Amino acid sequence: MRNHASGTIAAIVATLINIAAAFLIGALLIVAVGENPLKAFGVVWTGAFGSLKGFSFTLYYATNFIFTGLAVAVAAHAREYNIGGEGQANVSGLGVFLVGAMLPFLPWPVAIVLGIVAGMTFGAAWAFVPAYMSARRGSNLVVTTIMFNFLASLLMIYLIVNFLRPTTSMIPASGALADNLSLPRMDRFLLTLGINIHENPLNITFLVALLVCVAVTFLIWHTRWGYELRAVGENRDAAAYAGVHVPRVVIQAICLSGALAGMVGLNEVFGVQHRLILDFALGYGFTGVAVALIGNNHPLGIIPAAILFGALYQGGASMAFMFPKISREVVVVLQGLVILFAGGFVAVLRPYLTEQFDHFFTRKVA
Amino acid sequence: MDYLTIVFVTASALRLAVPLIFAAMGGLYAEKSGVIDIGLEGKMLFGAFAAGACATAFGSSAAGLAGAIAAGILLALAQAFASIHLRGNQLVIGIAINIIASGLTAFLGIAWYQRGGQTPQLDTHERFLPIILPGADAISNVPIIGPLYAQIISGQTVFVYGAFLLAIITWLVIYRTRFGLRLQACGDKPEAVETAGVSVFVTRYIAFTINGALCGIGGAYFALVQGGAFYKDMTAGQGYMALAAVIFGNWRPGRVLAACLLFAFADAAQGRMQGAMIGDFAIPTQLIQALPYVLTLLLLAGIVGRAEGPLEAGRPYIKGER
């Protein structure tokens, strides 16, 4: 008898082994440059979770990673790898910025709704061509989205430098948006309660991210479309025989993926920067890959995975500050290792673990 | 553009094409063997770092080059092991290789040299310098031929000549040797190779060894010729550009070489085109920079030509399965 739970448990155990292995290699690297890894990781921990301020920064980073992680996960359910989260987020920033620039009088509750619509639309639009090429022409989505990341960056340089930058400024960024557009921030809210956590980018978008997680869970596991999506991911031929219009579902999935990555634009433009900055989403798309792989493409896994990487980003900065020989880049190495192990060992490790757990459970039942 | 400008742009295009050609030819071996390689960028970057570090440590350019080749092969074999033996997702593994290389080179660079990820500036004997061919000075004033000989043919580093030689050798290896035929068969029909008594795994590992060495050399060029030191993230997307060249060149050595030269030429011309006008419209330099990616996408979309990659690329080979 095949036990359904053993698959899930195997996935979780495999993920934990993966994270442990990545941290072990990270620790060896820290030893190699002559520092104590336990102390270093201790500083990461206190930097990320030790204070309300640090924890807020962790959640701010996690907000972006939840969006890019969900983006990768939705496409992954159709067995497609959207590496273009970075480009889609960059372009979505333009959409959010345009809403703010054209409608500067909006109060934030309206601005956030229009910002979500604009960010998602621009993100989905930037994903459409790769999506179409993947579904209709069989082009490799990884390759096309990498190209679209470069194109997004070039497009944004062109637009920002030539049109959006104030004439007096040399920095590649637009002018500031109206103050009334700024989303409510945690530091200001806590200040009204008498708690001072200093300047802090964590804003209401984090709650939006949690709501989006609920929405994505509902969509993938409780709707007809979600069923079609998972059917396409499991077996395209079978899905097609069952009457699913496979190319349509694939295109929709990748565009939804782009739309989710586009939510990063809301967090950054309306929530934090209040302007459009060049390459504000640098590296977020790749972190999204790591988050989705660790989170097993499920929102319940993606939230802790996003917080893990948020903590590494935030705590990594504290660590680099405390230990001059250790730089924040060790976090990038960990991220790469996690992706390597999840991508490389999953084909071997997970079936093996599933089998082991199966044996274990069946013996108990018998 | 006058003649002299064209000569200068061509000369600089040749220099810019070098890392593209090495990485693209490296990518070609891997892809012909049936493994998609997104990790060219990471292996070049790792090679560039090793080149900078070894050239400084041993005080010689040859040591730098050797270190780069070793580093490239090391990373390529790790990628090959995960892709071939562990049957992981080749795309995901390639991305991981790039991220690891980006993080690791910066981390080690900062820890070892403490100048923001840069290796120490290399002396002239630790770098590769341009070779002035005999008579270059003498005839440089002769019209037409003079500048052509002095700027383009002479005054290049050994890497430029090596890159063209490599393209020819790659063509010969792939189309005129037994190994090349096996390599292609591995990419198109691995069961047939195995039936003929040749190991698909071994062939793919050999392909990746060559791939790593070539990426390493391409990376070394950045540190030992262009930069005179390793800088953080110094390959700056050229590995992805090389990947684009493999695709735009339709996985054929001659066309891949042409694609590399075209992309490099666009890059070299882009600096000179600042403020160039068509009628009243100023051509944005970003448009020229976007050209390689746009052309590759058009090919993939089937609008210009048709992409004809190895049939089994991306699919792990499992012995005994068909």
HEC-encoded secondary structure of B95-152: HHHHHHHHHHHHHHHHHHHCCCCCCCCCCHHHCCCCECCCCHHHHCCCCCHHHHHHHH
One-letter amino acid at A268 equals: E
pLDDT tens digits along B14-38: 999 999 999 999 999 999 999 999 9
- Interface predicted TM-score of the whole assembly (ipTM), two decimals: 0.90
Q: Which of residues 53-82 of A touch B (CB under 8 A)?
A: 81
Would you say residue A32 lies in a domain?
no
Q: Which of B77, B87, B89, B285 to mutate to test the interface with A (most CBs of A within 10 A)?
A: B89
Would you say residue B187 lies in a domain?
yes
Task: Reply yes or no on whether the pLDDT at A5 is more than 90.
Answer: no
Would you say residue B122 lies in a domain?
yes
Contacts 24+ apart (CB under 8 A), B234-239: B234/B45, B234/B48, B235/B19, B235/B41, B235/B44, B235/B45, B235/B48, B237/A150, B237/B41, B238/B19, B238/B20, B238/B23, B238/B41, B238/B44, B239/B23, B239/B39, B239/B40, B239/B41, B239/B42, B239/B43, B239/B44, B239/B45, B239/B98, B239/B215
Question: Angle A108-137/A141-159 helices, nearest 10 degrees?
Answer: 140
Which residue shows structure tokens 């190495």? A333
Would you say residue B160 lies in a domain?
yes
pLDDT tens digits along A157-172: 999 998 899 888 888 8
For A348, which of B86, B96, B287 is closest by C-beta distance?
B86
Q: In this structure, are residues A330 and A32 in contact, taking their beta carbons and an 8 Å threshold? A: no
Chain B residues whose CB is inside 8 A of the A162 CB are 284
Q: How many domains does chain B have?
A: 1
Judged by average pLDDT, the poorest of A117-121, B34-38, B270-274 is B270-274
Would you say residue B223 lies in a domain?
yes
Q: Is B38 in contact with A143 (Cβ distance < 8 A)?
A: yes
pLDDT tens digits along B123-155: 888 899 888 888 777 787 788 888 888 788 888
The single-letter DSSP state of residue A179 is G
Q: How many domains does chain A have?
A: 1
Helix (H) or strand (E) holding B277: strand B277-278
Rg (alpha carbons) of chain A, rounded to whole number? 21
Task: Reply yes or no on whether the pLDDT at A255 is more than 60.
Answer: yes
| Average pLDDT estimate for B205-232 | 96
Task: Report the mean per-residue pLDDT for chain B.
Answer: 90
pLDDT tens digits along A321-337: 999 889 889 999 999 99
Would you say residue A253 lies in a domain?
yes
Q: Is the minimum CB–CB distance between A83 and chain B shorter than 8 Å?
A: yes
In this predicted model, which residue has the larger pLDDT, B21 or A281? Answer: B21
Q: Which of A30, A82, A150 to mutate to test the interface with B (most CBs of B within 10 A)?
A: A150
Would you say residue A133 lies in a domain?
yes
Would you say residue B251 lies in a domain?
no
Q: Which of B41, B286, B315 to mutate to test the interface with A (most CBs of A within 10 A)?
A: B286
Question: Angle B200-221/B61-80 helices, nearest 10 degrees?
Answer: 140
Would you say residue B245 lies in a domain?
no
Would you say residue B309 lies in a domain?
no
Would you say residue A13 lies in a domain?
no
Instruction: Give the Cα separation of A243 and A116 in Å (integer).
Output: 33
Instruction: Give the Cα separation of B36 and B78 in Å (integer).
Output: 14
Helix and strand totals (H; E) in chain B? 13, 2
Instruction: Give the Cα separation of A37 and B249 in Å (integer).
Output: 47
* Domain around B41: 3-235
* Domain around A174: 62-294
Provide the 3-class DSSP secondary structure of residue A331.
Answer: helix
Would you say residue A47 lies in a domain?
no
Instruction: Give the Cα separation of A303 and A69 in Å (integer).
Output: 9
Predicted pLDDT at A226: 97
Would you say residue B151 lies in a domain?
yes
Confidence band of A1 (pLDDT split at 50, 70, 90): very low
Task: Reply yes or no on whether the pLDDT at B103 is more than 80.
Answer: yes
Helix (H) or strand (E) holding A210: helix A205-222
